[in-house]
Structure 1
Amino acid sequence: MRTRRGRGGSPRAASCKSPLDGGSGNGIPPFSADSAGGGGAKRLKVPTSEPGLRPRYRYRLVNVFAERPFAGKPTAVITDARGLDSTSMQLIARELNVPQTAFVFPAEIPDAQARVRIFTPTAELPRAEQPTIAAIFALDQEEKLERAHSQRRVVVQQADGPVSASYFARVMTVKQRLPEFVGTYPEPDAVAAILGLTRDDLLPLPLEAFSAGVPFLIVPVRDAARLRGAHFRDSIWERTVRHFEAPHILAFCLSPERPSSLARARVFTPALGIREDPATESAHGALVVYALRHGLVDLPATAAVTIEQGAELGRPSFIQVVVVHDNGTVREIRIGGQCQSVGEGTIVAP
């Protein structure tokens, strides 16, 4: 439940609608290609402030892959970024200093409802699942989407092409690139030492790396107790895996906290400036591919599984992976989860 201010300043309750609910309710036009002036729709104004002052832009803070507020991965979304150039967006992303910030513009291609650009505090990304989910969730919260009741999907435009988001209950998923095999790391003792473990704490399987855009070295750990006890040792990583094709490490076990989940994971990405990440959607398609490849799991041809992450950081995350495979050969992967709105504010244009 969130509150909005009615006339006279008194609060009024507003329920959190899902993208399947009908009607906008507040007269805000859908944020689509038509809102840029075509199709007879009313053109939305570029955010402004008082004359002579810098424009102000509204943003929302969204926790992605979270079943409750202040869990999952924090993401900022500026739901109407018109008037901002690349330099300004990078400065704002650095100032907000969350892992990723999404900037929303009118779409430039047919069928897409918005164009989304994604920035970390240091660089722009051509595509990423987590901020895409956050952006669509934030637009829905502001009732700027045309709901596709029958198709249960929304299409947005990103730098490397259109991305469709699908809805099922409260879970939103987006399609992920199929992970590609990168290579095998030949020194399991070194990898175990990086995690503060021994070789006996790992399953006797090859340490393989896969990439769906970001390469991860997959490390199978015997059980949850060993995984919880892992502590990352930067000095050993600096001398070893840092120089491998996949310097990021995903350690996992098949004994999650919830019986309904498939696995529990911890992800370490010091090469990206994040020692441990609370939710790493770009890694979990690779985890499922690895588990199928080595016969660790037996899944139906189309399966929806949950990966747990972030509990050790106090930000429990639940990443949904929908996988379509043919006798272990993966054909399609979708990544998603629930979102929570935890705040909003304004920021001036640089």
Structure 2
Amino acid sequence: MGRRYAILDVFTNKKLTGNPLAVVLDAEGLSDEQMQAITREFNLSETVFVLPTDNPGHSANIRIFTPGRELPFAGHPTVGTAILLAMERFGEITGEQDSMVVLKEKIGAVRCGVVLKENAAGFAEFDLPQLPRPAGPAENRDTIAAALGLEPTDIGFENHAPSCYEAGVPFVFVPVRDLDALSRAKPNMTQWKKAFREATSEDAFVYCRETRVHDSGFHARMFAPTMGIPEDPATGSAVGAFAGAIHYFDDLPNGTHFIRIEQGYVMGRPSLIDLEIDIEARKMHAVRIGGQATVVARGELYI
């Protein structure tokens, strides 16, 4: 008997765009080594393994792997898995169906609100299990520019400077002046570990204020070569941590702020990630990540 799996495109409502995700629905009994090997077999940025839970308040336990290692938390696996499990629960949808899916991840329980609609991509939104916090100092702009194949004058815009934040997974956030500079960014592996260190983060989220879509707030690219991800089409965990940089540099006032992040365009995998930040007494009170996902394939693993 095979183990069922599905492939979804996440942070998009159009198949063959967004960030592809593999979800193994029947993962009970697989070893860590088998999960890592299966992830390399799929060769996607992340693969999720769904396991039974003994907590009646949880929908499932999940484990998330990249081709290089396991992650305690990630955004597009959370969105895609929540939508898929809701589809498994309700089957064919007539009209609209709302549901709550609670995923037990290494970081803790993640509550996801899911909306399924007839003949449409599903939508999921979740509260970050940890609020963004600083994760150490970033390197200077010369070192970062060399690692990204850019000029030092390409780094920074307005008051935005390189910074490091985490919300479960740390990232270095690198502002660049415009879309042209962002399109020219390319990891230089001989310089990479000088700029992106294990002590802070080996992953770079590079962004600018200029966008392709008129209602987007930022355009971004994410490079994680040491995790086996040369470039990621959409990175929800990075966008969650990015809320810390946005709050710090843009000095967000009290209230709820909706910011759409576009990513993956250079790769031909356009993705849209919805970020909501609640500010109370000038401090972050809550951060939410949302997006759509659509199933593109189903099958079985004979392992």
> Normalised by the shorter chain, which TM-score bucket?
0.7 to 0.9
Aligned partner of 1:18 in structure 2 is: none
Q: Does the 8 Å CA contact 2:79/2:125 hold for their aligned counterparts?
A: yes
Deviations 1:149-202 (A, max 9, x none): 998422232344322101367431122221220222342122123223223222
**Structure 2 CA distance for aligned equivalents of residues 132 and 240 of structure 1:** 29
Q: Who is 1:279 aligned against?
A: 234
Correspondence 1:220-235 to 2 at 5 A? 220-235=175-190
C-alpha distance in structure 1 between counterparts of 2:29 and 2:161, whole Å: 50
Runs of 5+ consecutive residues of structure 1 not aligned to the other structure: 1-47, 49-55
Q: 1:100 aligns with which of 46, 54, 68?
A: 46
Contact 2:21 2:44 in 1 (8 A): yes
Question: Kindly tell me: are residues 73 and 186 of structure 1, through their superposed partners in 2, closer, same or farther at Cα, counting changes over 3 Å?
Answer: closer
Indicate whether 1:305 and 2:252 are aligned.
no
Query: How far apart are the structure 2 equivalents of 1:272 and 1:328?
Result: 35
Letter in 1 for 2:290: G
Q: Taking structure 1 as reference, are residues 280 and 108 closer, same or farther at Cα in structure 2, changes over 3 Å only?
A: same
- Identity value in percent: 34
Change (3 A) 1:273 1:113: closer
Matching residue of 2:100: 153
1:341 deviation in Å? 0.8
- Where does 1:90-129 land on structure 2 (aligned, <5 Å)? 90-129=36-75
Asked if residue 216 in structure 1 is aligned to residue 171 in structure 2, the reply is yes
The number of aligned residues is 292
Distance 1:318 1:295 in 2: 21
SS class of match (1:163)? strand
Is the counterpart of residue 162 in structure 1 residue 109 in structure 2?
A: yes
Please, which runs of 5 or more residues in structure 2 have no aligned partner?
117-121
Structure with greater contact order relative to length (CA < 8 Å, sep ≥ 6): 2
Q: Contact (CA 8 Å) 2:115, 2:123: kept in 1 or not?
A: yes
TM-score (structure 2 length as normaliser)? 0.86
Deviation by residue 1:213-260 (Cα, 9 ceiling, x = unmatched): 222111111222222232332222244434652222111111111121
Contact 2:82 2:124 survives alignment (8 Å): no
Q: Partners of 1:105 and 1:314 in 2: how far apart?
A: 33
Output the CA distance in 2 between the equivalents of 1:165 and 1:263: 24
**Deviation (angstroms), 1:302:** 1.3
Match of 1:35?
none
- CA contact under 8 A between 2:182 and 2:208: conserved in structure 1? yes
Does residue 173 in structure 1 map to residue 125 in structure 2? yes
**Is contact 1:107-1:156 (8 Å) kept?**
no
TM-align CA RMSD: 2.6
Cα deviation 1:82-132 (Å, max 9, x = unaligned): 443444433322322222222223321122222223233343333333222
- CA distance change for structure 1 residues 250 and 224 in 2, over 3 Å: closer, same or farther? same
Query: Residue 116 of structure 1 contacts residue 132 of structure 1 at CA under 8 Å; is this kept in 2?
Result: no
Are 2:149 and 1:196 aligned? yes
Aligned to 2:136: 183
CA contact (8 A) 2:67 2:229 kept: no
CA deviation string 1:311-343 (max 9, x = no partner): 111111111112111254212111121101111
Does the CA contact (< 8 Å) of 2:76 and 2:234 recur in 1? no
